[in-house]
Chain A
Amino acid sequence: MLELRDVQVIFDGFRALDGVDLTVPEGELRFLIGPNGAGKTTLIDVITGLTRPAAGSVRFGGADLVGRKEHQIVRMGVGRTFQTSVVFEALTVVENLDLAATFRKPLWSLTRRRDGVSEAVEEALVRTGLEELAERSAGVLSHGQRQWLEIGMLLAQRPKLLLLDEPVAGMSKDERERTGELLTEIADDHTVIVVEHDMEFLRRHASVVTVLHEGKVLVEGSVDQVSADPRVQEVYLGRRASDAVGNRP
């Protein structure tokens, strides 16, 4: 279970997060939306140790995450993807995934050659549909393929809490669908937080949605509740847009 209490993040006087409380129970697929610049990515940064909050607490499975180093937090079972995907271009797709899968092994044991593909990696390959690209170097991937690889690396890590920052941006419709199903499936026994702007995607896959605005939680509720909320329409969906976008085929 993830629990944030009164989290504050201040950049040069600018309040990016301003007293955020958030509780996500185990096995939930939580969607996080909000206007550009609302603080969604910053929230993920705080949980994963990239940004240190000025105040507040972040607890995961009972342990306090604030002040821990990034890799320690990962080792506690918290994984994430990045809004702008970063993969290791000099390594092949499999090697990228394998690296993600082996961090629990002691460093000295890594001095052996990898032989074959581990189960976690195989699974990640299949789930992301990257099998055919497995031996290609990640540097040649297109934008969307990189997004998939990011997701694959997250899966291969086998974390307890998954944080995905706009995972379907740049994906085609079918792929969005596939991602949505994947996330729902994972959320059975994991905690998943997804940041997304695609309302249709939300409608199809979200149950609980938290809306962030100017560093604060604006509302929390089901997709319908949230999209009916006038404040959400005002700052996020747009009055005219709430229908237009909502009515996408």
Chain B
Amino acid sequence: MLSVTGLESGYGRARVLFGVSLEVGPGQLVCVMGRNGVGKTTLLNTVMGVLPATAGTVTFDGRDVTRLKPHERVRLGMGYVPQGHQCFPQLSVLGNLLVTVEAAKQPRSAVDEALDVFPALKPLLKRSAGHLSGGQQQQLAMARALVTRPRMLILDEPTEGIQPSIIVEIEAAIERLHASGLAVLLVEQYLDIALRLADTFVILDGGHVVRTGAAGDLHKEDVRRLLAV
């Protein structure tokens, strides 16, 4: 589904990623892990085209998307939830969802489906998104990615700031989507969630892939060691 080979990118003259390669097969859930500042967000941003790749390629569904603009990647079926509960602050919650569903050229019913996954948003539809609490915004961000009806979800710490009961639901939702054939590329700090969900792991350190493998092959202690400071 998604294949990243030899990806390099960074900010200005500062290089952050050094030849990262990874593979997300159809319907597969790959979890990217690593300590703070190793380049996880940079990786996802480069995969989405927010940052230009200085070397390497990104192929989605057999198509080279390395030079495509972010919105073109979205329209090909890549749904992205960036880190840090982002939203369009002055649009209403419904406006946030509508603008996304329209941009992705999906039917309005996609909004209702997403709201079923995040029912806590339903009473908030008319509120300005900027006024929501952090956790509410994060739920909105997830919902926004869902309304594009992606074929692959790219999630950067989706559970950050979310209350426990909803984390469980998000986890369940990801599991459900994954089960229904959606590919997922996930960055997650909660190790146990990652362990439960992932088919494959990629562990980053200093912009390099230091470990990769099937979930079953990796021992928890092993992972922990690699993630330790």
Separation in Å of the A237 CB from the closest CB of chain B? 5
Verify A140–B227 contact, CB threshold 8 A: no
User: Does A18 make an interface contact (CB < 8 A)?
Assistant: no
Verify A241–B168 contact, CB threshold 8 A: yes
- Which residues 90-110 of B sit at the A interface, judged by CB distance below 8 A? none
**Known contacts A129-B229, A170-B157, A37 near B133 by CB under 8 Å:** yes
User: Does A107 make an interface contact (CB < 8 A)?
Assistant: no
Nearest A-chain residue to B38, judged by Cβ: A142
User: Does A36 make an interface contact (CB < 8 A)?
Assistant: yes
What residues on B are CB-neighbors of A14 within 8 Å?
127
Centre residue among B120, B134, B228 by max chain A CB count within 10 A? B134
What residues on A are CB-neighbors of B35 within 8 Å?
144, 172, 175
Q: Which of A36, A175, A240, A242 contacts B36 (CB 8 A)?
A: A175
Verify A197–B37 contact, CB threshold 8 A: no
User: Does B62 make an interface contact (CB < 8 A)?
Assistant: no
Centre residue among B35, B36, B228 by max chain A CB count within 10 A? B36
Q: Which of A148, A197, A249 contacts B163 (CB 8 A)?
A: A197
Produce 1/0 per residue, B142-161, CB < 8 A to A: 00000000000000010011
Centre residue among A83, A147, A148, A171 by max chain B CB count within 10 A? A83
What residues on A are CB-neighbors of B138 within 8 Å?
36
User: Does A112 make an interface contact (CB < 8 A)?
Assistant: no
What residues on A are CB-neighbors of B157 within 8 Å?
143, 170
Separation in Å of the B145 CB from the closest CB of chain A? 18
Q: Which of A36, A38, A142 contacts B41 (CB 8 A)?
A: A142
User: Does B125 make an interface contact (CB < 8 A)?
Assistant: no
What residues on B are CB-neighbors of A241 within 8 Å?
164-165, 167-168
**Size band of the interface chain B makes with A:** 35 or more
User: Does A105 make an interface contact (CB < 8 A)?
Assistant: no
Question: How many residues belonging to A are interface residues under a CB distance threshold of 8 Å?
Answer: 43
Produce 1/0 per residue, A210-249, CB < 8 A to B: 0000000000000000000000000111101110110011
Nearest A-chain residue to B86, judged by Cβ: A84
Verify B36–A197 contact, CB threshold 8 A: no
Verify A37–B132 contact, CB threshold 8 A: yes
**Known contacts A36-B162, A237-B165, A144 near B36 by CB under 8 Å:** yes
Q: Which of A83, A144, A238 contacts B161 (CB 8 A)?
A: A83
Verify B165–A236 contact, CB threshold 8 A: yes
User: Does A10 make an interface contact (CB < 8 A)?
Assistant: no
Verify B164–A36 contact, CB threshold 8 A: no
Cα–Cα, bound, A4→B70 (Å):
47
Separation in Å of the B130 CB from the closest CB of chain A? 11
Verify A37–B85 contact, CB threshold 8 A: no
What residues on B are CB-neighbors of A37 within 8 Å?
120, 124, 132-133, 135-136
Residues of B at the A interface (CB closer than 8 Å) are: 11, 14, 35-38, 41, 83-85, 120, 124, 127, 131-136, 138-139, 157, 160-169, 189-192, 220, 224, 227-229
Residues of A at the B interface (CB closer than 8 Å) are: 11, 14, 34-38, 40-42, 83-84, 129, 140-145, 147-148, 166, 169-175, 178, 197, 199, 235-238, 240-242, 244-245, 248-249
- Nearest 7 CB-CB pairings of A with B: A36-B135, A144-B36, A238-B165, A142-B37, A241-B168, A37-B133, A83-B134
